[in-house]
Amino acid sequence: MRISVKMVLLVVCVSAGLVFGAAKNAKDVKVEPKDTKAAVTPAKETAVKPEVKEAKPAAPAVKAAEPNAAAENTGVAVTVNGKDIMEADVDAKMNAYRIEQYKRPQMVESMVMEQLLEEQIKKAGVNVTDNDVNDKLNEYIAAQPGMTMEVLKARVTSQGQSFEQIKEQIKKTVSYEKLIGNVEVNDAEAKAFYDENKEDFNKPEQVRASHILIKTSAGGAHDKTLPVSLPMTPEEKAVAKTKIEDLLKQVKAGGDFAALAKENSDDPGSKIAGGDLGFFDRSTMVKEFADAAFATKVGEVSGVIETQFGYHIIKVTDHKEGGLMPFDKAKADIVKLLQNKKKSELFKQLIEKIKAQAKIVYPPGKEPKPRMPMMPQGQRPNGQAPQSESAPMSK
């Protein structure tokens, strides 16, 4: 699965605690403590769908339902406290974020909120420095095992996206966070959450591993929703086997596993991170891969392992026993989660307040229909860590 700019923004902004429409109760939010969370979860391409999809032409049915859409996408979209947001501005933002036309009304609402927030930020004298932005980026990177700034930039630029665009949106998110201010979570609140959600802290045995994959199918190797229906010929498979055996010899001779993975692996998701798959349990992988990974000691490299997807070499880099995580180890993550929830609630209250006080005027015929608004760019609800295609998931 491609790692999109939208997904990166999603994770960074959720970490800032500015999620619209958060769960009503803390226990509605499931916790994945960061020291048990895979940096690059072995996943099928369809496992996670970004909130903002790749741009596609509008479906004919949508066009038929909105015959005047083209005519309406000119002139003023909305006026906010005397300042016009032009339809051309909406077009530019939708193109930049590859948002489908049927979401145009949500984008207009998002830009209204963004304008109102910018006014509040100016009034409050909020200042966001480059260090603030870098701190937020580093916070995200540190929470993802195997993630580095280099890897993050590579995943962004590989899609033709601008890393500066990400930094600009993070800057907005940090300014929203500063506008809300700090929130406190005491030990009693954290312990209550832990006691009410202990099942979320009871984790199976896990290993962290890197791998090099040489595929033995011509397509669809990482998506189990697609049949592996294009096997190589015996001659092609023999070439693949020779290649993986040669790579194993290089690793055994002291070769840099990460460098070899970057140069040779057929897993486009994990190869950027030197083959790192993060932590996973037995149920995550197909049996052959899982058996080999859990049988290999930390710091050691497996032999050649064959799965339905190809030949693998696995290097195990860490191991965690299963069981209930003690409160003292889970506390930091719980505090962060509860802080995010409180910030989300405060942010929602702020939005409602400033919208009620604002003068928002839509041109005739462009009044919005009731719907859930999008967040200002730089925020997304229901965030998850970026993932990549990698070793195949278990059925």
Are 312 and 337 found together in one domain? no
- Looking up residue 188, the CATH number of its domain turns out to be 1.10.4030.10
Residue keyed to tokens 């840099």: 256
Residues in the chain, overall count: 395
Total structural domains within the chain: 2
Distance separating alpha carbons of residues 387 and 268, to the nearest angstrom:
12
395, part of any domain? no
Asked if residue 51 and residue 127 are part of one domain, the reply reads yes
Q: Which of 141-145, 198-202, 273-277 has the lowest mean pLDDT?
A: 141-145
C-alpha of 209 from chain center: 20
CATH code for position 309:
3.10.50.40
Predicted local confidence at residue 394, as pLDDT: 58
* Domain membership flag for residue 388: no
pLDDT greater than 70 at residue 327? yes
Output the CA torsion sign for 231, 235, 237, 239: negative
CA distance 106 to 96: 15
Q: What is the pTM of this model?
A: 0.62
3-state class (DSSP) for residue 285: strand
Q: How confident is the model at residue 6 (pLDDT cuts 50, 70, 90)?
A: very low
Same domain? For 259 and 115 the reply is: no
Same domain? 113 vs 215: no
Q: What is the pLDDT of residues 82-98, one digit of tens each?
A: 999 999 999 998 887 77
Task: Tell me, yes or no, whether 58 and 183 share the same domain.
Answer: yes
Strands (DSSP E) found in the chain: 42-43, 76-80, 83-86, 202-203, 206-215, 276-280, 305-307, 310-320, 323-324, 360-361, 388-389
Whether residues 245 and 337 share a domain: the answer is no
Give residue 46's pLDDT band: very low, low, confident or very high (50, 70, 90): very low
Q: Per the domain annotation, does 384 fall within a domain?
A: no
Q: What is the domain range of residue 244? A: 205-321
* Residue 275 reports pLDDT greater than 50: yes
Same domain, 339 and 214: no
**Best CA proximity match to 147, nearest among 269, 52, 49, 257:** 269
For residue 112, being part of any structural domain is answered with yes
Question: What confidence tens digit (pLDDT) does each residue in 207-253 have?
Answer: 999 999 999 876 543 444 444 446 788 999 999 999 999 999 999 99
